[in-house]
Chain A
């Protein structure tokens, strides 16, 4: 029996079905979860997918964070349930205070969609163990509000505890996907909680799991194989 990984659909979620596909391609069983339903259907892990939940008309993620499903997600995440938040999902995780900091509008004030170069800084979380620390990967980035911010104390703490999971690669040409794409502090693309079960990032690993579509790379697949191995070994 393989692992069952839930994907929550909020109103305005866009990448829910893509995430289900990525989970399936990694060999796990995707389970659709609904925002109005507190029941997590006994899944082994949860992904909060990207999109514009509630249109992002208020602060991104600010309304979804109060969905019935999030009550259970918050409770179980604190008890160790692996949770991955991608883009809007990351925004929801910060609004839910499962991860520190928050996201502001991109410093250039435009939506940005590109293949983004990242460095894996922490390969010991539930969602990154199939990477090696320091590995450079390229996965799509697409957002309007992706600028990670936190107070200096939080930033220092994240850095000191090795909780910056992904960093935008600053060197090289913008045309090739290098550089900080939105003004995120410390070039932060993604972070983890202290326990390493909750991870959030702005780029979209679910769009880099097949050689044929998207960017043509599969650099995002290890997110899903990491969690699968972790869950099946348990």
Chain B
């Protein structure tokens, strides 16, 4: 549309011009190289500078002024170019000759063996260093998960055993949990050891629950829902949990009630000639 419009504008001649005998209006002073005015219809930023972009390229034809008026030509076949070039493609191998290669002899290794050993030594050293780094990375990372020193200092509790008379319970606090220590009498030991423990809900021998038969050390947390059982109570002369009625015997084994497991035995040891009990 814009092209047609431009052409029409370009061809619009004043009404006073002559007309040739062929009927074509004579306009000898028409400037066919005129630039189109800025803002003539399509504002794309082009067309304002340079030759008109809507006029066909020279090789495609175009308008020209001749003695008989305006002539419009359009070439159907493109003209051949007059310049011929050889195609420089070929498949044969290039023969290269380099007579000016410098002498690299001074730069070459004196001994291949030394070179190889040095390379492997450097590789091995890097391996040693990176293995050390990896090892310490892993260990340091795992060390962050370990308990800190102040926690570890609280993790052990010492109890004077001489202060606990026979047949008495002592409750101490260890890592925030109560620990039952019972100095059992001889008859209690016999009762705990002679019972047929294989028929219990959580079968466990009294021998495996105590290091010394007269000292019973257990965590005072009911295995049902975590209440603290009451000592010297219940149907079996041991412990009784008031929350849901679990009965533990004199070895801390569950005998009756909802609890699934025996009272837990913590890690403990006797020290200083059985004078002290160290829990933890």
Partners in one complex: no
Residues in A lying within 8 Å of B, measured CB to CB: none
